[in-house]
Structure 1
Amino acid sequence: MAIEDTPEEWTVTATATPFTGNKTSVRTDDVVMPDGSTARRDYQVHPGSVAVLALDDDGRVLVLRQYRHPVRHKLWEIPAGLLDVPGENPLHAAQRELYEEAHVKADDWRVLTDVYTTPGGCDEAVRIFLARGLAEAEGERFAVSEEETDMELARVGLDELVRGVLAGELHNNCLVVGVLSLVAAQQGPGLESLRPADAPWPARPFGA
């Protein structure tokens, strides 16, 4: 048996949207179980996200520290953002986020990994890119607002990030998955084996 996730959709007999927010909503589905019973499932409907593990020529990762109100923490993260436009090319969104949050551009982009962040309660899908060949972006810095006005930027060695992840000191999903995936790729088939930046993404199909 192949160890591979496969698409499947069980019958939904009723659905409702009890809450609609600015970017996400909550949906309630009545789902038919394998034994014929029906179970109610509430979950967050999410447009999807992209994240960027930006690796410089000295082997350091570009990270930022930002307040996250739901968990009451300032978390170290990698640049990330929502897929605000339906069908948007995720590479374009990732390039935009790297510019807006760090004023950085990159000339080598690859797909590091794709994940569902919390599939038991949210349909969010995230594509994490590896960006190399970093340089400062041209023009003025993007005007930030709200939590981002307090954001800190740093470049941290990969070994230190791995240590922090395994010590339970770093908790952001995209940072943890991105850092460990990068190490696995480096120690395994190599970074050149990673998928191209425009690789298909069935969870969030996109155009050119």
Structure 2
Amino acid sequence: MTPHPRLPGELADGDSLTDSDHSWPVSASVTKYDSPYLSLRIDTIVDPAGGEHGRAVVQPNGAIAVLAIDEYDRILLVEQYRHPVGRRLLELPAGTLDVPGESALDAAARELAEEADVAAEHWESILHLVATPGYSTEAWEVFQATGLSAVPHADRTQREAEEADMVQWWLPFKDAVDAVLSGRITDSLTVAGILAAQVLRTR
């Protein structure tokens, strides 16, 4: 390792750093809440010096999102009311991994059909990320979907609650990037997916 010549820290090259599976021991764990959607537990973790620290851990199901792009380079966004923030947000079609045994890709195809009545022929995983690692185990994956077609009317899902009030929009990809950078699109999974796709286009 080589120290930075002027600032604290070590110099790294592009391939030398990656997230690590190294974990601290857990000396105690107590479940405070449990449901099919998420659970909450309090862990006591032990640092390398032997000190103990209580940490809340929220365990939701993982989630996927779909960056669906049509033949005119427009991406699909759904506008949905999100009660915790009290706003209607523009988002990629997305959902949780809440079907036992279902793969992330199958969940992505299901959510695209359920939320937008759209199917896709071609799929590519473009991004993995963790949502809020300071207190949650939730992990996300973004898929890019192309070769789009409409789900037949007889096979469409009857949407309920907030999803019944969804609106679907098709936005030129460049305009979607601009909407992210101007703060008009703020959902973090949507922001990450759009910017990842933009980077992949320029590599």
Does TM-score exceed 0.5, indicating one fold? yes
**1:34 offset after TM fit, Å?**
2.1
SS in 2 for 1:97: helix
List runs of 5+ in structure 1 lacking aligned partners: 189-208
What is the match of residue 194 of structure 1? none
The reply on whether 1:148 has 2:148 as its aligned counterpart is no
Contact 1:47 1:86 in 2 (8 A): no
User: Given the alignment of the two structures, is residue 179 of structure 1 paired with residue 199 of structure 2, yes or no?
Assistant: no
SS in structure 2 opposite 1:61? strand
**Using the alignment, how far apart are the partners of 1:86 and 1:33 within structure 2?**
35
Partner of 2:130: 116
Deviation at 1:87, TM superposition (A): 4.1
Distance 1:143 1:14 in 2: 44
Per-residue displacement from partner, 1:20-52 (whole Å, max 9, x unpaired)? 234001111000012211000002102201110
Superposed, 1:21-170 pairs within 5 Å as: 21-138=35-152, 139-170=154-185
- Larger C-alpha radius of gyration, 1 or 2? 2
- The runs of at least 4 consecutive aligned structure 1 residues that moved more than 6 Å come to none
Partners of 1:7 and 1:87 in 2: how far apart? 24
Structure 2: any 5+ residue segments left out of the alignment? Answer: 1-11
Root-mean-square deviation (CA, aligned residues, Å) is 1.2
Secondary structure at 2:155 match in 1: coil
Q: Percent identity?
A: 37
Q: Deviations over 1:135-158 (max 9, x none)?
A: 101233201111111111010011
TM-score (normalised: structure 1): 0.87
Report the TM-score when normalising by structure 2. Answer: 0.89
The answer as to whether partners of 1:28 and 1:43 remain within 8 angstroms in 2 is yes
Report the secondary structure of 1:120's partner residue. Answer: coil
Q: Residue 203 of structure 1 aligns with which residue?
A: none
Q: CA deviation at 1:159?
A: 1.3
Q: When the two structures are aligned, how many residues end up with a matched partner?
A: 188
Does the C-alpha gap of structure 1 residues 21 and 3 become closer, same or farther in structure 2, counting only changes over 3 Å? Answer: same
Moved more, 156-165 or 59-68: 156-165
- Supply the distance in 2 between the matched residues of 1:122 and 1:63 (Cα, whole angstroms): 26
